[in-house]
Structure 1
Amino acid sequence: MNKLMIFAFTISVLIGCTPKNKTNNKESDNINMAISRSDGESMIVPLGKEKGTLISRNENSESDTNKVPNIVSKTGEKAIEGGNPNAENESLKIRRAHTQFKNGTVYYKDGEIQKAIDAFKLSLEYKPDNDKAFYNLGKIYYELGQKDLSMAYYKDAVNLNENDSLSLLGIGLIYYQSKRYPDALLYYNKAIEAAPYYAMAYFNRGTMLGQNKQYQQSLSDLTNAIKYDPDFSESYLNRGLAYFYTKDMDNACIDWKKAESMGNLKAKDAVRIYCSGGMTQ
């Protein structure tokens, strides 16, 4: 008889979106973003950190920077040549803020994290109401393991834009990892309200509900996660777990086999142990 293998739900976070995982954010549908996932405390093989995953555009148009004097783009130690945020007219401040925002995304993609932080902070000196700069700082500090700072920046972003589903999801994840589940649920709910097609928000909420043995609600959320992003294998793995714990082995094996076909190693183990005819729950 095969040895019983106990699986745990795994949490993951999407800080951004692709066309297959759009947020439908009321404010951010047209922002070009990318995926970043953090594996959390799980038995799942961690996903690799992906670079270049910050919001890469703010609300100012590209043409705003075309004729700005004395602004240089990511050359040397100083991203701005001269200039004082307290002594410039509003139009020039906005242009400088936009340039610094762009510099920050380039520094981040190049792995120059401290320079990226400095650029986003300088962007906020010129334009302190840019919620996307606050979000990017929150994401960076989360990746650095400084969750208190990350939370503060995410909340600043939400204070400026209550429909910022990316920051709402980030706050929920930090609360979840701190085992503050009611607070995590509150922010996951807000993220889904702001972005009804945000697959990772459904995934994280459904996974947390599954961990708390609310399996029917978990199944509903994970089904939505699959609906809006059918290419994320962990959604099938975790939905299979929810079926497993409700003793629906037929559907559990269907989901695990799907995840296995997508290269998920934990699903492969689940199929081998539970779906080969050698063992039943």
Structure 2
Amino acid sequence: MKRFSLLFSCFWLSLIAFAQNLDEVLKEGIAKMEAKEYAAAVEKFDLVLAAKPNSVEAHFQRGLAKKAMLQYNLAINSFNKVIELKPDHLEAYIERSDVYSAMGKEDEAIKDLNKITEMKPDYLEAYIRRGNVYRRKGDAAKAIEEYEKSLKINPKYDKGHYSLALYYFNIEKNAEAIKHVKDAIAANPNNAEAYALKGEIEMHQKQYKAALASFNKSIELDNSVGSTYTFRGQAKLFTGDKKGACADWKKAQEHGDVECEEYLAKYCK
């Protein structure tokens, strides 16, 4: 009897150790994702799934990795499995809608986003993404309606204001654009994108010093966006700082922005 009890205890200890090992492998995969080593991440997630086929998190992370690798059909398969195992997994619907959009299947993307707002009407990000889908489809009225829905739920939702600001800026309604971008910043003073957009709008209004201040703030909050350096370089050029402009365009080039190259060629030889 004692021997049986000892064997039983060893069995459960082995199971616990095995489960802990799987958790570690999953964490290693997520770390690979953060390092943008997507193929290596997939290998880790596959190891977890070989031992635990119904791991929702492993399927979800695998879908994210396949999405990053532009292997869209495989990403869809992973997100399908997540939703099969956990039908209320909102992030899986969000990610699958993104993949559908990337594949040009905008109607499928809208169905996923509709499902999210049915399950959770205050999921604000879904309204923004659905508005973006309608904008890509050329349906401006529905795009604006979706952005405004998010603001009806939360009038201080910075992404709602930012999305409206970007839309109005693209159709050259600068007064509406600047109003909403200021509302976005008031709602979230750490929104680097909003400061960058504010700078672009001010550039179009020939308010170069104001634009420079906006780009400075954007870069202070997020110094990894190449296009912001390109725009700040333009603002510096217009305010008489050619040397500073060239330094910014070189920085933009380091961050992979291609638009800066014509300015480097023209002004910084």
TM-score (norm 1): 0.60
2:255 alignment partner, one of 252, 262, 265: 262
Q: Is residue 97–residue 113 contact of structure 2 (8 Å, CA) maintained in 1?
A: no
| 1:158 and 2:148 aligned | no
Across the two proteins, how many residue pairs are aligned to each other? 190
Larger Rg: 2
Matched with 1:141 is 134
Structure 1 counterpart SS, 2:212? helix
Q: Is residue 105–residue 116 contact of structure 1 (8 Å, CA) maintained in 2?
A: no
Work out the CA distance in 2 between the residues paired with 1:135 and 1:107.
12
Q: By how many angstroms is 1:190 displaced?
A: 0.9
Larger mean Cα displacement after TM superposition, 216-225 or 230-239: 230-239
Q: Which digits, 9 at most, give the CA deviation of each residue in 1:98-141, with x for residues without a partner?
A: 44664353243244432231232233334434333322211222
Q: By how many angstroms is 1:233 displaced?
A: 1.2
| 1:241 and 2:234 aligned | yes
- Structure scoring higher RCO (CA < 8 A, sep ≥ 6) equals 1
Higher helix share: 2
Q: Which digits, 9 at most, give the CA deviation of each residue in 1:42-82, with x for residues without a partner?
A: xxxxxxxx989xxxxxxxxxxxxxxxxxxxx847xxx89xx
Work out the CA distance in 2 between the residues paired with 1:234 and 1:260.
9
Matched with 1:56 is none
Which residue identity lines up with residue 112 of structure 2 in the other structure?
A
Structure 2 counterpart SS, 1:265? coil
| 1:105 and 2:95 aligned | yes
Matched with 1:174 is 167
TM-score (norm 2): 0.62
Report 1:55-204 matches (<5 A): 74=80, 98-99=88-89, 102-110=92-100, 111=103, 112-204=105-197
| 1:226 and 2:216 aligned | no
Larger mean Cα displacement after TM superposition, 130-139 or 217-226: 130-139
User: Percent identity over the alignment?
Assistant: 24
Question: Structure 1 regions of 5+ residues with no counterpart?
Answer: 1-18, 20-49, 53-72, 81-94, 277-281
Work out the CA distance in 2 between the residues paired with 1:253 and 1:100.
45
Q: CA RMSD in A?
A: 2.8
Work out the CA distance in 2 between the residues paired with 1:107 and 1:242.
37
Which residue identity lines up with residue 195 of structure 1 in the other structure?
N
Which residue identity lines up with residue 173 of structure 1 in the other structure?
L
Structure 2 counterpart SS, 1:230? coil
